[in-house]
Structure 1
């Protein structure tokens, strides 16, 4: 293979397991076409095959061998931009079994759960594999990602999507990844695994707090992804009541585009609003507990109507006889 010129970069090393390629487009790669109205089309390049749309067709052979970042015209005059899809673009257009974790939340998980190269991470459940791709890229080939999924059909979709993104074939998978079909609340304790991070994306993550605590090393992080306020409250209070975690931090991220044309600078008409809540907490060392909070909860926060988990320093409040009159 000829040496690249000073203004060229070689292809990304295969053993980096990045899911990214440099250089000319090649057969078997996926490309992303964007038309003049911003509509997106993703497909795999196959020699001799055609891409069809309402603007005619394109020959795959006319794309293979060209450097990405070019415009091409279809047989009926439609114009398309041609690029390799980014990870953030791939996950929102890939086939789905379960709903995917969107890039704005995946980015928050990778950054604020501090997923690092070489980390040992537990993920439950795997869904369609969107977050799995981000986690695998973050831990790298020398880390480890152990994923759990209760439903075989979702696991099958995830396997195909992860293989498609990282360019594997047949039974080959990312060397850092293992996927188990089963309930993480049962499988994780039985495995006796130790992990730096535990990521929970499930209907009742509070049921897995004990299993996460047992698996996490001191200083490790549990990160929980939940969609509703009732789930948010239950998981935060369960983490507090456990006593082996720092004060949980809960948040959500909202993304708003901006329209910029000359003097017409304004927020976009569409925005990516609520998708889910994220919660993180750090594991205390064995036998250590978080110091009691000096700030008292708001009046009524843990009143008679509250029936969820209760922190150890919050007493059960008696019924207010005045309120019953």
Structure 2
């Protein structure tokens, strides 16, 4: 019964409405509000109480298909105060940084909160995420977006601070940076991570990656440096007509990782 109730739209929920051309409209459900569009209007009260996957008629007779948004949809449609990390990168970031249920994670560069939301879901109730930003407006925006997506979250703490000076956490499983100059954080990263912990940085420019890698190489407690770039292409599949989409999500950023280790013994 509880599982079914979670599928029912309630006031305060987000809903994504699809028209016959699969165009998406995201709405924040309130009893007295109304969705208005060129294909007719729909009272929010007619959505509230219905299960996901319902077809709902507008005032002009057009049918809208209603679902709760996936994390993918919410990430692309949520309010932004900074460039987001896109879904195509989020999956690889959490995989390469070894995020798992119960993990202790530090994030720097809260931004609009796309990574924060993903981390919160992946570490689960037994894990925790400490999210840092030097700007209060960024931190508040990330917190607001997380609260809208999951009002019941209890595993993320937001902080205003500069992680290049110090990271007041120890035995951290993963440290993830979305910062323009992550090479300034290498020493702090070594102090906060546990042995075997992962240090990951997301950067838009390869020259930034080069500067970061050179700094990591100088530190005796890091090894196994790796940099990747993710590209995503959709395919159009319609009967016997199968071809790649003309539009491709190519470069958005580089993902660089390294692992904390015991300093390598010097040769005798």
SS of 1:91's partner is helix
Greater per-residue strand proportion: 2
2:146 is equivalent to residue 154 of structure 1: no
Cα contact 1:101–1:130 (8 A) shared by 2: yes
Instruction: Give the aligned partner of residue 216 of structure 2.
Output: 239
Partner residue of 2:237? 260
Q: Tell me the equivalent position of 1:104.
A: 88
Cα deviation, 1:242-288, whole Å, max 9, x if unaligned, reads 23211311001111100011110000111111111001111012xx2
Q: After the TM superposition, which segments of 4 or more aligned residues of structure 1 sit over 4 Å from their partners?
A: none
Name the residue aligned to 1:91. 75
Computed over aligned residues only, the root mean square deviation of the Cα atoms, in angstroms, reads 1.8
| Contact persistence 1:243–1:290 (CA under 8 A) | no
Aligned mates of 2:18, 2:115 — CA distance in 1: 24
Query: Aligned partners of 2:58, 2:204: CA distance in 1, in Å?
Result: 42
TM-superposed deviation, 1:68: 0.7
- State yes or no: 1:289 paired with 2:264: yes
Alignment CA distance shift 1:290-1:59 (3 Å): farther
Q: Out of 202-211 and 75-84, give the one that drifted further.
A: 75-84
Q: Which deviates the most, 243-252 or 114-123? A: 243-252
Residue 170 of structure 2 contacts residue 194 of structure 2 at CA under 8 Å; is this kept in 1? no
**Is 1:227 matched up with 2:204?**
yes
Which whole-Å CA distance do the structure 2 matches of 1:138 and 1:33 have between them? 27
Equivalent residue, structure 1, for 2:3 = 11
Q: CA deviation at 1:72?
A: 2.2
Moved more, 251-260 or 78-87: 78-87
Q: Is the radius of gyration larger for structure 1 or structure 2?
A: 1
Alignment of 1:56 with 2:48, yes or no, is no
Partners of 1:33 and 1:41 within 8 A in 2: yes
Query: 2-side partners of 1:73 and 1:291: how far apart?
Result: 73
Please tell me whether the aligned partners of residues 245 and 290 of structure 1 are also in contact (alpha carbons under 8 angstroms): no
- Quote the offset at 1:290 in angstroms: 8.2
1:315 is matched with which residue? none
Q: 1:183 aligns with which of 157, 162, 176?
A: 162
Displacement after TM superposition at 1:239 (Å): 1.2
Q: Give secondary structure in 2 for the equivalent of 1:213.
A: helix
Whether contact under 8 Å (1:126, 1:132) holds in the other structure is: yes
Q: Contact 2:228–2:256 (CA<8 Å) still a contact in 1?
A: yes
CA shift for structure 1 position 235? 1.1
Q: Is the 8 A contact 2:109 2:131 kept in 1?
A: yes
Checking the alignment, whether the CA contact within 8 Å between 1:122 and 1:145 is kept in structure 2 is yes
Q: Contact conserved, 1:252 with 1:277, CA < 8 A, in 2?
A: yes
What corresponds to 2:225 in structure 1? 248
2:185 to 186, 199, 208: 208
Deviation at 1:187, TM superposition (A): 4.0
Counterpart contact for 1:32–1:41, Cα < 8 Å: yes
Q: Distance in 2 between matches of 1:130 and 1:193?
A: 25
Helix, strand or coil for the counterpart of 2:224? coil
Unaligned segments of structure 1, at least 5 residues? 5-9, 13-20, 169-173, 293-325
Give distance in 2, aligned partners of 1:76 and 1:245: 63
Secondary structure (helix, strand or coil) at the match of 1:203 reads: coil
Q: CA deviation at 1:35?
A: 2.1
Give how far 1:62 is off: 1.1
> Shift of residue 105 of structure 1?
0.9
Where do 5+ consecutive residues of structure 2 fail to align? none
